[in-house]
């Protein structure tokens, strides 16, 4: 019986190390096509839609990065659902610096579904004047050539949506660094692996969702997503189901991680886990085989520290480290990965706890509200 358990642990370690190799290869393949994009020469007007709630220290600079784009015609619509929202003061400061830019605040006072963000997007889309729409969050910071790159990619005839990889920028707390490290060395690696396995993207990422209005209308508008938690995933999936390609952009953006304590970190990670479970159940179950270092440590413990188990641990550490560096440093350009690499074992063992907890219930806390998840949809508790 013990030999069977040891064999399972060894098999799990080997499979997980193989997954790391797959992720590293997916990252290398993606990086090889960098710098091959050609400006289409056409620059249609773009409406940037942002549902904002609350303010953080990095919000101003993140919004500002959208006002200095090397792009001829675009507007930025900022949706607020509360006239006393502190985000309004940040937006007013922005309009003072860029008085000639098309920055508009849209009062989104109607609650049109359980997902408050999508409720605001419904109202923002109605106010937008351009055919090309781009959605991202208020904590996303972009480079000056971002719009030019993304919209050029969207103008390929077979492309229905463009989405972007992103790297986390942590605050100076250990939980914040753990989340940033997880984004750069695990979550984005999983996105690249899924793209390789499935022969292309089948979903969108909230860091960037760029599409034409006609594609939105074809899936029933944002109204069709109003009760879903993973609205970015659903938007991409539905556009893909309509026979159009989801393009993973060459542009990589940044998201700023709050200064979490461990309680806040765990709550956010648990919401993320249950979101993935609700959206891609088989993919969530498959995450069991991605826990490389925990599998290897378990194998060493069950094998009584035999020489072969230590050799397997060495292989696991090597492949996991290579995957982390290729995805984080090479693909995403995350300079913090090397400094935070010592936290990788902590992050990976915590990931097991979060994964198990993700199976243990359907409740989440999001934007101060409590919900229950059922088949990907939100129900207020």
Contact 259, 176 (CB under 8 A): yes
Q: For 204-239, write each residue's pLDDT tens digit.
A: 999 999 999 999 999 999 999 999 988 999 999 999
> Which residues are registered as beta bridge partners of 208?
205
Worst-scoring range by mean pLDDT, 135-149, 159-173, 202-216, 266-280?
A: 266-280
CA distance 151 to 136: 14
> Which residues are registered as beta bridge partners of 167?
254
Q: What is the mean pLDDT of residues 194-198?
A: 93
Identify the pLDDT of residue 32. 86
Burial class (CB in 10 A: 0-12, 13-18, 19+), 255: buried
- 49 is written with which tokens? 């839609």
Residue 33 pLDDT greater than 80, yes or no: no
Identify the pLDDT of residue 64. 95
Q: CA-CA-CA-CA torsion for 312, 314, 320, 321, nearest 10 degrees?
A: -170
Q: Which domains does the chain have, with CATH numbers?
A: 2-30+286-380 (no CATH), 39-276 (3.90.550.10)
363-366 and 159-169 as β-strands: parallel, antiparallel, unpaired?
unpaired
Pick 129 or 109 by higher pLDDT. 129
Q: Strand, coil or helix: what is 78?
A: strand
Helices (H) and strands (E) in the chain, counts: 15, 11
Identify the pLDDT of residue 37. 53
Q: Can you list the alpha helix ranges (DSSP code H) found in 33-143? A: 59-64, 87-97, 116-127
Residue 369 pLDDT class (50, 70, 90 cuts) = confident
Share of the chain above pLDDT 70, in %: 97
Residue 289 pLDDT greater than 60, yes or no: yes
């Amino acid at each position: 019986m013990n030999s069977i358990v040891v064999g399972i642990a060894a098999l799990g370690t080997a499979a997980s190390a193989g997954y790391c190799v797959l992720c590293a290869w997916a990252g290398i393949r993606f990086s090889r096509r960098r710098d091959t994009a050609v400006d289409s020469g056409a620059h249609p007007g773009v409406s940037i839609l942002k549902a904002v709630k609350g303010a953080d220290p990095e919000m101003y600079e993140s919004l500002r990065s959208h006002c200095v784009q090397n792009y001829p015609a675009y507007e930025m619509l900022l949706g607020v659902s509360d006239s006393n929202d502190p985000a309004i003061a940040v937006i007013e400061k922005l309009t003072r610096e860029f008085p000639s830019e098309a920055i508009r605040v849209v009062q989104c006072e109607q609650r049109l579904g359980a997902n408050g963000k999508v409720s605001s997007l419904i109202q923002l889309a109605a106010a937008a004047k351009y055919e090309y729409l781009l959605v991202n969050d208020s904590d996303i910071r972009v480079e000056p050539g971002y719009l030019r790159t993304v919209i050029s990619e969207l103008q390929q005839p077979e492309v229905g949506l463009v989405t972007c990889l992103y790297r986390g920028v942590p605050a100076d707390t250990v939980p914040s660094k753990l989340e940033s490290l997880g984004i750069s060395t695990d979550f984005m690696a999983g996105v690249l692996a899924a793209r390789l396995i499935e022969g292309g993207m089948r979903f969108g990422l909230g860091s960037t969702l760029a599409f034409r209005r006609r594609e939105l209308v074809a899936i029933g508008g944002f109204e069709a997503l109003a009760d879903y938690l993973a609205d970015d995933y659903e938007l991409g999936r539905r556009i893909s189901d309509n026979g159009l390609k989801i393009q993973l952009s060459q542009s990589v953006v940044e998201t700023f991680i709050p200064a979490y304590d461990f309680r806040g970190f765990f709550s956010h990670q648990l919401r993320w886990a249950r979101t993935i479970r609700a959206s891609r159940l088989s993919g969530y179950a498959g995450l069991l085989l991605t826990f490389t270092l925990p599998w290897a440590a378990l194998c060493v413990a069950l094998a009584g520290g035999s020489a072969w188990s230590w050799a397997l641990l060495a292989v696991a550490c090597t492949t996991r480290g290579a995957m982390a560096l290729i995805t984080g440093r090479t693909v995403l350009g995350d300079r913090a990965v090397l400094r935070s690499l010592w936290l990788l074992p902590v992050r990976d063992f915590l990931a097991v706890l979060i994964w198990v907890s993700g199976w243990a219930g359907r409740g989440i806390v999001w934007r101060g509200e409590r919900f229950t998840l059922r088949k990907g949809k939100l129900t207020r508790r």
